[in-house]
Chains A and B, each alone.
Chain A
Amino acid sequence: QKEVEQNSGPLSVPEGAIASLNCTYSDRVSQSFFWYRQYSGKSPELIMSIYSNGDKEDGRFTAQLNKASQYVSLLIRDSQPSDSATYLCAVFFYNNNDMRFGAGTRLTVKP
């Protein structure tokens, strides 16, 4: 089992819809969770961080963390074509001080 897993997609949603991206992680000591957006040919861009159970909202983005289920998700409301990118889930594992990324989910928002 990979340490951080995401559905590779592609995920396609119409403009204005809610896009839901999911991520699960292995049972290691972890505390910090991040979502990055990566456009083709570019480096990852941090869009959300979450450190405790529950929801965290920032504009059109909501991150949800459930440590008991080892699950973190990202919701994008009112999706726009400019949101079309690969979304990377990242988990910081304390026991080795390393950040592990999922393979990413490719999102396409259709006008």
Chain B
Amino acid sequence: ETGVTQSPTHLIKTRGQQVTLRCSSQSGHNTVSWYQQALGQGPQFIFQYYREEENGRGNFPPRFSGLQFPNYSSELNVNALELDDSALYLCASSSDRLYEQYFGPGTRLTVT
């Protein structure tokens, strides 16, 4: 166990809806990164938060947004859900933006 937790475990949403996923980082970690992993693919970087600021972003549209709180937990928000958003969403925390990242168990999102 890495100490990184995510909620919920599974989620089913309808196209066009909005969703919020949550992540609690490992104790002592100030950086949280979010990834989307489609079946059979490696994780795709969505964005990273470092000390409550967005610190880097991958090739995802603005309807993917996030927050990091003073306790370094984080949220991923996705608006106007599309069928292709169905995937495993992973968050990972690290003690600094450059160092090893430890993943939570993930949230499986299904969009119908």
State the A residues within 8 Å of B (CB): 4, 31-32, 34, 36, 42-46, 49, 88, 90, 92, 96-104
Contact = CB atoms under 8 A, between A and B. Distances in A.
Given A43-B106, A96-B56, A98-B48, A104 B100 contact: no
Contacts of B42: 4, 88, 90, 101-104
Interface in B80-112: 88, 90, 97-106
A101 B57 contact: no
A101 B44 CA distance: 7
Interface residues of B, number: 27
A105 to B, nearest CB: 10
B57 A43 contact: no
Main SS class of interface, A: strand
B100 A97 contact: no
B68 to A, nearest CB: 14
Contact of B56 (A42, A46, A98): A98
Contacts of A103: 40-42
Contacts of A44: 43, 90, 103
B14 interface: no
22 contacts: A4-B42, A32-B99, A36-B103, A42-B105, A43-B105, A44-B43, A44-B103, A45-B103, A46-B100, A46-B101, A46-B102, A49-B99, A88-B42, A88-B43, A92-B98, A97-B48, A97-B55, A97-B56, A97-B97, A99-B45, A99-B48, A99-B101
Interface in B39-75: 40-45, 48, 50, 55-58
A26 B99 CA distance: 20
Given A43-B106, A46-B102, A100 B90 contact: no
